[in-house]
Amino acid sequence: MSQPTELTELEPTHRLVDVPGGRIHLVEQGTGPLVLLLHGFPESWRAWRRQLPALAAAGYRAVALDLRGYGGSSQPAAVADCRMLAHVADDVAVVRALGEETAIVVGHDVGASIAANSALLRPDVFTAVGLLGVPYTPRGGPRPTDAFAQIGGDEQFYVSWFQEPGVAEAEIERDVRGWLAGFYAALSADTMGAAGGAYAFVPPGRAMRDRFPAGALPAWLSPDELDGSAQEFEETGFAGALARYRNFDRDWEDLAAWDGAPIRQPSLFIGGALDPSTTWMADAIAAFPATLPGLVSSHLLDGCGHWLQQERPDEVNRLLLDWLGSLAAR
């Protein structure tokens, strides 16, 4: 194959595909086994811009979605339209729309939870699952809203704060670019400072952004990239993105039949050692032998924050490709 043809095949392509709930915008690059990439909050397909070409060059069909409620994908008419079951249905519909029967699914942050549940509920479609940033936690325990309300004492845990309709939108949408810059900085290793996860607790009468670090952008985020993300959220608003957090109780009810259920497909976990998620959810990571019996490898990246595939793209790409190669060898 000539070099120009190879380069053409590796160019990213934007597409809209129909799903039962509307449409999903996606960006695909490369040919080969299908790998779905699911972003977290508050991001878009752009979160995988450093993985798409690496996976394509290695012989995979890499497809990064805008989750429903984000970017070019459909905006939900109601909060319940962003329940976990709807996201899983989107993932299955995307696989079918791309002419495939099965896929490997990889997610980061809330995308990791969606990837995990896609693998749990549809093992016939999703043959392996990679989780970045947020470990798999089976359904169980008390109702999520009750559990989150016990965290933080007099201060409100960010998940509870996100769950209140209109409250987070009112803060964020006054200055979308500035809020995004602060949120990204609060969870990035090079800009979070000594405060660590302090951003996640909102004192009475205060704003979440009051505890964001001030100063430079994280090294992985250029002003132009920030502008692109801010423009997308200026157009869509944040209600669709925040709806994921507002469905946690509904998901708990919907998934009752899978209480405590493990994911048995081959899996991968990568976390940042400085990401508060890896300390808040240390018990979930420790439980992997029971909850992820098909785990191939688990990695905590020293000196890395929450946005690991952007903070450490080369290292994450290597780990992803090593894992994907191990699947092919099975």
> Catalytic positions, please?
109, 306
Euclidean distance between the first and the last CA atom of the chain, given in angstroms as a whole number: 28
- Tell me which residue has tokens 């965290």: 151
Instruction: Please provide residue 160's backbone torsions phi and psi, each rounded to the nearest 5 degrees.
Output: -65, -40
Question: 25: which strand partners?
Answer: 16
- As to burial, measured by CB atoms within 10 angstroms (0-12 exposed, 13-18 middle, 19+ buried), residue 53 is middle
Q: Are 29 and 53 in contact (CB under 8 A)?
A: yes
CA atoms of 213 and 272, how far apart (whole Å): 19
Q: Which tokens hold the place of 164?
A: 């209140």
The bridge status of strand 13-19 relative to strand 22-29 is antiparallel
The span from the CA of 251 to the CA of 31, in Å, is 34
